[in-house]
Amino acid sequence: MTIQIGDKIPHATLNTLKDGVQAVDTDELFAGKKVVLFAVPGAFTPTCSAKHLPGYADKLGEFEKRGIEVACLSVNDAFVMDAWAKSQGVPEGVHMLADGNGAFTQALGLELDATAFGMGLRAKRFALYAEDGVVKQLHVEAPGEFKVSAAEYVLEHLA
């Protein structure tokens, strides 16, 4: 079942690369904070690299002014996420989160079966806004679309 507005973010362990692979507990990531989590089907893929990640990197200051942390999620490993962040010049303030086996993505109910494209299980393109671990906004893209999960769209719809 897909996560809904009002639901609590499920507990999971993600990874990031900082002095080696570090575990990121979703309870700690979201507890007592305002967080925008956006997900991409794959690091280094065209729309993700040309529009999705750059939009959040460019708008990071606007989110920070509102006291909101920004996190990028992909069903990739921490090394890929780190290399992608470096290649894109992503500022330190964007959490680059690896969901290597897709367990968190599946717990959210937002997995995408991309086996027909040789990519296996991936995340649907989405953005969610949570306060203290509770989903306040959820923007899931239709297949092949890039509109409602864009940084600009999310910023426009924050209260």
Handedness of CA 78, 76, 40, 103 (dihedral sign): negative
Cα R_g (the chain), whole angstroms: 14
Annotation: CATH topology of 13-156: Glutaredoxin (3.40.30)
Over its length of 159 residues, how does the chain's per-residue pLDDT go in tens digits?
899 999 999 999 999 999 999 999 999 999 999 999 999 999 999 999 999 999 999 999 999 999 999 999 999 999 999 999 999 999 999 999 999 999 999 999 999 988 888 888 999 999 999 999 999 999 999 999 999 999 999 999 996
pTM of the full structure: 0.95
Strand residues in the chain grouped as ranges (E): 13-17, 21-25, 34-40, 68-74, 94-98, 111-113, 121-123, 126-131, 134-140
Q: Is the CB of residue 84 less than 8 Å from the CB of residue 11? A: no
Give the residue numbers annotated as catalytic, written as ranges: 48
> Taking the domains of the chain in order of start, what are their residue ranges?
13-156
